[in-house]
């Protein structure tokens, strides 16, 4: 069946190369979405590898064009999957990890220690020791207690370690409070006054090499001006060779949602802001997470029931166990029937319904007031833009095994993370 162009509005949120055939059936990575659901089951995450690689290449090229000393680092908390790590390492991107588990995953996925940066506001002694022994490029120091632990660990091993110091610049971008991380009352980093004392201590250390400043003001950011305000705030702490501006570039989740700056606009603006405040030649690091991975992935579900209790409820076989973002942040997604992709234009067969998960929580609601084409039991539904914080936050609530991750490319599909089984739920029993 020949493919037709995806509705232009849907094309802004589905993976690159997504098509709809003449029957109205979705095709991702050259694969029929309905056939994918039949072969691999649902719920499941499907990653279009070409989208992932293309976006990674765009970030590397954009920052390289903006400055030869700029670096792109994957904020891996967005999608900590070995196969994703491997793709991004192959594309010349570094890796930001926030735990010993993420560090182990990054190493397993092929990142060289020299390309890895360790973050976290409550790093344990074991995590710091693991990072030192693995010889990661930098540890981002978050607090004075951590400096105590790090100095002791380095002395015990007769080692040295490069660090950045994380500063909370007192800047809050326009985003959800739960993902705003740079304001004056945050759990992350030193406030500017405390940072002065910490910088003096780090510079005096015999085993720690302070390379520069790190800040991260939040996620899902659509405006670039707050980065300038943050840079001006940290400029009062002195001049350094390295400035890690965190990440935070937002993505478009719905057809009517706000559109972020382009990758090229984002990269050039961040480098330009650093040069305006500190002059040229600085090492600039950026940590895109969701902007690298979110749009590469769709989640498929199967409808289990359709009923009306004041409003119409369409219940699927997943929910808050595979996508917590709607429950944590009131995040909004699109959802469609994969073999009746009518697009944003209304149809007389459309039904406005709440698409809910299967879990024992009234808040287990994936999409409120979704418009679905004649939904019925057995239909396969698709939610795009799920390549960030879906797999990462997946859980086994109500004993639900976690979904698989499947890479699709050129009409082929391969499992990179298998579906959990009921037996896996007991793997840690003793």
Q: Is 184 annotated to bind ligand?
A: no
Asked if 318 and 358 count as a contact pair (C-beta separation under 8 A), the reply is: yes
Q: Is 45 annotated to bind ligand?
A: no
Phi, psi of 324 (to 5 degrees): -85, -15
Please report, for the domain that includes residue 203, its CATH number.
Answer: 3.20.20.10
Number of structural domains (the chain) is 2
Question: CA 62 to CA 57: how far, in whole Å?
Answer: 8
Question: Is the same domain home to 287 and 300?
Answer: no
Q: Is 266 annotated to bind ligand?
A: no
Question: Is the same domain home to 45 and 72?
Answer: no
- Residue 4 vs residues 19, 268, 347: alpha-carbon distances, Å: 6, 35, 19
Question: Is the same domain home to 37 and 59?
Answer: no
- Residue 177 vs residues 37, 127, 233: alpha-carbon distances, Å: 36, 28, 21
Question: Is the same domain home to 276 and 300?
Answer: no
State which of 236, 269, 293 marks the end of a domain.
293
Domain, as residue range, for 71 = 50-293
Question: Is the same domain home to 159 and 234?
Answer: yes
State which of 275, 293, 311 marks the end of a domain.
293
Question: Is the same domain home to 102 and 127?
Answer: yes
pLDDT at 247: 85
Question: CA 171 to CA 280: how far, in whole Å?
Answer: 24
- Give the CA diameter of the chain: 73
Question: Is the same domain home to 259 and 406?
Answer: no
Q: Is 301 annotated to bind ligand?
A: no
Question: Is the same domain home to 175 and 202?
Answer: yes
For the chain, 430 residues long, give each residue's pLDDT as a single digit of tens. 556 667 888 899 999 999 999 888 999 999 999 999 999 999 999 999 999 999 999 999 999 999 999 999 999 999 999 999 999 999 999 999 999 999 999 999 999 999 999 999 999 999 999 999 999 999 999 999 999 999 999 999 999 999 999 999 877 654 445 444 545 677 889 998 999 999 999 999 999 999 999 999 887 888 888 888 889 989 999 999 999 999 889 999 999 999 999 999 999 999 999 999 999 999 999 999 999 999 999 999 999 999 999 999 999 999 999 999 999 989 999 999 999 986 666 778 899 999 999 999 999 999 999 999 999 999 999 999 999 999 999 999 999 999 999 999 999 999 999 999 999 999 999 9
Q: Is 248 annotated to bind ligand?
A: yes
State which of 293, 312, 345 marks the end of a domain.
293
Please report, for the domain that includes residue 406, its CATH number.
Answer: 2.40.37.10
Cite the active site residues.
360
Phi, psi of 200 (to 5 degrees): -60, -40
pLDDT at 342: 66
């Amino acid at each position: 069946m020949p493919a037709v162009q995806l509705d232009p509005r849907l094309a802004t949120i589905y993976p690159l190369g997504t098509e709809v055939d003449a029957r109205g059936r979705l095709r991702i990575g050259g694969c029929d979405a309905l056939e994918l659901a039949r072969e691999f089951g649902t719920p499941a995450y499907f990653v279009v590898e070409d989208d992932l690689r293309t976006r990674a290449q765009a970030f590397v090229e954009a920052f390289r064009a903006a400055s030869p000393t700029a670096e792109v680092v994957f904020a891996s908390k967005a999608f900590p999957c070995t196969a994703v790590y491997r793709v991004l390492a192959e594309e010349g991107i570094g890796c930001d990890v926030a735990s010993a588990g993420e560090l182990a995953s990054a190493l397993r996925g092929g990142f060289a220690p020299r390309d890895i940066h360790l973050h976290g506001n409550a790093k344990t002694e074991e995590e710091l020791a693991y990072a030192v022994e693995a010889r990661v490029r930098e540890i981002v120091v978050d607090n004075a207690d951590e400096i105590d632990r790090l100095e002791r660990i380095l002395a015990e091993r007769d080692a040295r370690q490069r660090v950045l110091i994380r500063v909370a610049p007192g800047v809050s971008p326009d985003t959800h409070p739960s993902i705003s991380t740079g304001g004056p009352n945050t759990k992350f980093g030193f406030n500017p006054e405390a940072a002065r004392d910490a910088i003096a201590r780090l510079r005096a250390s015999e085993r720690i090499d302070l390379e520069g400043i790190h800040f991260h003001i939040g996620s899902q950011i659509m405006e670039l001006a707050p980065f300038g305000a943050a840079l001006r705030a940290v400029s009062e702490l002195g001049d350094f060779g390295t400035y890690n501006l965190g990440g935070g570039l937002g993505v478009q989740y719905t057809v009517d949602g706000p559109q972020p700056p382009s990758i090229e606009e984002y990269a050039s603006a961040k480098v330009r802001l650093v040069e305006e405040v500190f002059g040229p030649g600085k090492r600039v690091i950026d940590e895109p997470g969701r902007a690298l991975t979110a749009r590469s992935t769709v989640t498929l579900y199967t409808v289990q029931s359709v009923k009306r209790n004041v409003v119409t409820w369409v219940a699927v076989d997943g929910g808050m166990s595979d996508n917590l973002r709607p429950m944590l942040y009131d995040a909004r997604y699109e959802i469609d029937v994969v073999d009746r992709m009518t697009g944003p234009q209304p149809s007389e067969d459309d039904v406005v319904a709440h698409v809910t998960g299967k879990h024992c929580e009234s808040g287990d609601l994936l999409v409120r007031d979704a418009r679905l084409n004649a939904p019925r039991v057995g239909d396969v539904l698709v939610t795009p833009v799920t390549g960030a914080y879906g797999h990462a936050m997946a859980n086994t609530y109500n004993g639900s095994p976690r979904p698989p991750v499947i890479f699709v490319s050129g009409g082929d599909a391969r499992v990179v993370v298998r579906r959990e089984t009921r037996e896996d739920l007991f793997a840690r029993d003793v």
